[in-house]
C-alpha cells in the first residue's frame, strides 16, 4: 500500500501503479482501498498547497514558487528518510558479517537473491 500512495505523487503514477498492481496480481479489494487513500491524500495535498500558497502570497507567481518549493522540500525529506533507512540496513548487514564471524552461505541466509539497490 505505501507503493500505491507514493506512486500517485509521480507524473503518470496512477497509470504505472495500476499496471504494476495488475502485473503482480495484487488483490482488487486492497488495490481499491489503496487507490482511494492515495487519491484522497494527493487531492488534499494539492488543494491545500494551492490554497496556502495563494493565501501566503497575493501574487500568483509567488504562490507557484511557494508550491514548488514546498513540494521540493517534501520530496527531499522523503529521499532523506529513504537514505537513512538504506544506510541502517547496510550497517546492520555489515555488523552481521563483522570480523570474527564466519561468512554465511546463501543457504544459511535463506537463499536471498541479489538486491537491486547498490551500496552508496
Decide if 50 is inside a domain.
yes
Q: How many domains does the chain have?
A: 1
Decide if 109 is inside a domain.
no
Decide if 111 is inside a domain.
no
Decide if 67 is inside a domain.
yes
Decide if 9 is inside a domain.
yes
Which residues lie closer than 8 Å to 83 by C-beta, 6 or more apart?
A: 120
What is the per-residue pLDDT for 106? 52
Instruction: Categorize the per-residue pLDDT at 103 as very low, low, confident or very high, splitting at 50, 70 and 90.
Output: low
Domain that holds residue 16: 2-96
Decide if 115 is inside a domain.
no
Decide if 120 is inside a domain.
no
Q: Does pLDDT of 8 surpass 70?
A: yes
Q: How far apart are CA 45 and CA 65, in angstroms?
A: 16
Decide if 77 is inside a domain.
yes
Higher-confidence residue: 4 or 84? 84
Q: How far apart are CA 8 and CA 48, in angstroms?
A: 16
Mind listing the pLDDT tens digit for each residue in 34-76?
Answer: 888 888 888 888 888 777 777 777 777 877 787 788 888 888 8
Mean pLDDT across the chain: 77
Name the residue among 8, 4, 9, 15 with its Cα closest to residue 75.
9
Q: How far apart are CA 51 and CA 47, in angstroms?
A: 6
Amino acid at each position: 500500500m505505501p507503493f500505491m500512495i507514493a506512486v500517485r505523487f509521480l507524473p503518470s503514477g496512477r497509470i504505472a501503479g495500476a499496471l504494476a498492481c495488475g502485473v503482480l496480481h495484487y488483490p482488487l479489494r486492497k488495490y481499491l482501498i489503496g487507490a482511494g487513500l492515495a487519491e484522497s491524500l494527493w487531492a488534499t495535498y494539492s488543494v491545500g498547497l494551492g490554497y496556502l500558497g495563494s493565501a501566503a502570497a497575493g501574487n500568483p507567481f509567488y504562490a507557484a514558487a511557494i508550491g514548488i518549493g514546498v513540494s521540493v522540500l517534501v520530496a527531499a525529506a522523503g529521499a532523506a528518510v529513504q537514505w537513512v533507512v538504506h544506510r541502517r540496513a547496510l550497517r546492520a548487514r555489515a555488523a552481521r558479517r563483522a570480523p570474527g564471524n564466519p561468512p554465511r552461505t546463501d543457504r544459511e541466509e535463506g537463499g536471498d537473491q541479489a538486491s537491486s539497490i547498490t551500496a552508496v
